[in-house]
């Protein structure tokens, strides 16, 4: 199938039922028990710094492991998987002195996800989709890393825009969607959105590749790390006309429900949500079982809050199988038509009706 055929299929499926996204790549990689040598492979055997923990470099060093994870999620019932490219930017890869390899890591991550998707589609006769994962980077534009110098930033907007531009261009050949995700700083997300729009405008990438956008409510304050409420966040990114918008990470399904409900009320597009497997325990691990996670998502589905669901930190193929079962039989959320108004945002939303 061509990308246009897959996008048409995705539109049709999304009108019929709730779509299923995959679960956590990092959790599955941990469960594989990979060691330093797996992260190095033959190519990076003599790399000067440790590589274990750089999950994205597995696209080059241990590609079979990455394909194995993608297939496990598809076989569990996912319609769509995210590429293993959450940190495939020059900014994030600099932590491993791999900034010069960021483009190759991103391109290969997209190719491996496409390979797995096409394999499963051929085996099952049903289309499978790939979302190019674009993470927030390890640098923030809105918050100073130096408590004694609030105006200091490690990077500029132009730096972040350039890094995202390279990542997006590297993945474009193989993905069906771009997914700007785990957004804790909306200004970083705006750099990614601008990079995408600029590449489309220049004709560097196909203009028909839709974007999915997912923010992160960090705690019970109901705000992103940079301070925005759910509605303010949506007002900040709605100009990108995303195929879907939603929330992921930081919270489990129980804690995230309030904010998913709010996004469902205000977003004039599809809503996606992929919570963690509960809150982490004292050891930083996730104890919520697949059935427990699925029960929360079943509630969202029964109440018409979502169009796409999946899992974030701590979720596994078993969680996705349970989520797919819980969502089955429930229609997708109806996209609301809101009255025309000027909608702005800072940390809070502002609406001026016509």
Which of the four pLDDT bands, split at 50, 70 and 90, describes residue 36?
very high
Buried b (16+ CB within 10 A) or exposed e, 127-136: bbbbbbbbbb
For residue 258, what are the contacts with CB-CB under 8 A and spacing of at least 6?
222
| Pairwise CA distance, residues 159 & 144, whole Å | 16
The pair of structure tokens assigned to 104 is: 């190759």
**Is the model's pLDDT at 225 over the cut of 80?**
yes
Supply the pLDDT for residue 313.
98
For residue 156, what are the contacts with CB-CB under 8 A and spacing of at least 6?
141
Supply the pLDDT for residue 353.
82
For residue 99, what are the contacts with CB-CB under 8 A and spacing of at least 6?
90, 91, 93
| Pairwise CA distance, residues 41 & 24, whole Å | 23
309 neighbors 330 (Cβ within 8 angstroms) = no
Of 190, 70, 191, 180, nearest in space to 132 by CA: 180
Supply the pLDDT for residue 13.
97
For residue 330, what are the contacts with CB-CB under 8 A and spacing of at least 6?
17, 18, 298, 301, 302, 304
Instruction: Tell me: is residue 313 an annotated ligand-binding position.
Output: yes
- For the segment 297-307, what is each residue's pLDDT rounded down to a tens digit? 999 999 999 99
- Residue with token string 């028909």: 208
Of 120, 157, 123, nearest in space to 137 by CA: 157
102 neighbors 150 (Cβ within 8 angstroms) = no
Give the length of the chain. 354
- Cα 51 to its chain centre, rounded Å, is 23
Average pLDDT score, the chain: 97
Instruction: Tell me: is residue 150 an annotated ligand-binding position.
Output: no
Instruction: Tell me: is residue 172 an annotated ligand-binding position.
Output: no
**Is the model's pLDDT at 50 over the cut of 80?**
yes
The pair of structure tokens assigned to 244 is: 């879907």
The interaxial angle of helices 290-302 and 253-266, nearest 10 deg, is 20
Q: What total of structural domains would you count in the chain?
A: 1
- For the segment 98-119, what is each residue's pLDDT rounded down to a tens digit? 999 999 999 999 999 999 999 9
| Pairwise CA distance, residues 226 & 222, whole Å | 11
66 neighbors 143 (Cβ within 8 angstroms) = no
Which of the four pLDDT bands, split at 50, 70 and 90, describes residue 152?
very high
- For the segment 175-206, what is each residue's pLDDT rounded down to a tens digit? 999 999 999 999 999 999 999 999 999 999 99
The β-bridge partners of 252 are 276
| Pairwise CA distance, residues 227 & 222, whole Å | 9
Span 4-23, mean pLDDT? 97
- For the segment 291-338, what is each residue's pLDDT rounded down to a tens digit? 999 999 999 999 999 999 999 999 999 999 999 999 999 999 999 999
CATH number of the domain bearing residue 126: 3.20.20.330
| Pairwise CA distance, residues 242 & 316, whole Å | 27
The pair of structure tokens assigned to 85 is: 């490219």
333 neighbors 306 (Cβ within 8 angstroms) = yes
Span 48-77, mean pLDDT? 98
Range of the domain at 91: 3-353
């Amino acid at each position: 199938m061509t990308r246009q055929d897959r996008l048409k299929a995705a539109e049709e499926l999304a009108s019929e039922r709730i779509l299923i996204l995959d679960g956590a790549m990092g959790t599955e990689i941990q469960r594989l028990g990979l060691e330093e040598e797996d992260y190095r492979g033959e190519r990076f055997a003599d790399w000067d710094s440790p590589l274990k923990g750089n999950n994205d470099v597995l696209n080059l060093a241990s590609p079979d492991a990455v394909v194995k994870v993608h297939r496990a999620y598809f076989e569990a019932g996912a319609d769509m998987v995210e590429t293993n490219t959450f940190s495939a930017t020059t900014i994030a890869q600099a932590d491993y002195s791999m900034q010069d390899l960021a483009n190759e890591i991103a391109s290969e991550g997209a190719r491996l996800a496409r390979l797995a998707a096409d394999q499963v589609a051929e085996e099952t006769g049903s289309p499978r989709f790939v979302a190019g994962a674009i993470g927030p980077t390890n640098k923030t534009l809105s918050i100073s890393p130096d408590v004694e110098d609030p105006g200091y930033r490690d990077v500029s907007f132009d730096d972040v825009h350039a890094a995202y531009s390279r990542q997006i261009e590297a993945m474009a050949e193989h993905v069906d969607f771009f997914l700007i995700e785990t957004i804790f700083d909306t200004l970083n997300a705006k750099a990614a959105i601008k990079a995408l729009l600029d590449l489309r405008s220049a004709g560097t990438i196909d203009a028909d590749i839709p974007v999915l956008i997912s923010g992160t409510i960090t705690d019970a304050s109901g705000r992103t790390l940079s301070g925005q409420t759910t509605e303010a966040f949506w007002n900040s990114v709605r100009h990108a006309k995303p195929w879907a918008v939603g929330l992921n990470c930081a919270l489990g399904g129980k804690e995230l429900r309030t904010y998913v409900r709010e996004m469902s009320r205000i977003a004039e597009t599809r809503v996606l949500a992929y919570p963690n497997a509960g809150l982490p325990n004292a050891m930083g691990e996730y104890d919520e079982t697949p059935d427990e996670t699925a029960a929360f998502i079943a509630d969202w589905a029964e109440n018409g809050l979502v169009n796409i669901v999946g899992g974030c930190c701590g979720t596994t193929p078993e969680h996705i199988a349970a989520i797919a079962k819980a969502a089955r039989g429930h229609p997708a959320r109806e996209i609301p038509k809101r009255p025309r108004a000027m909608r702005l945002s800072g940390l809070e939303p502002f609406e001026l009706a016509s």
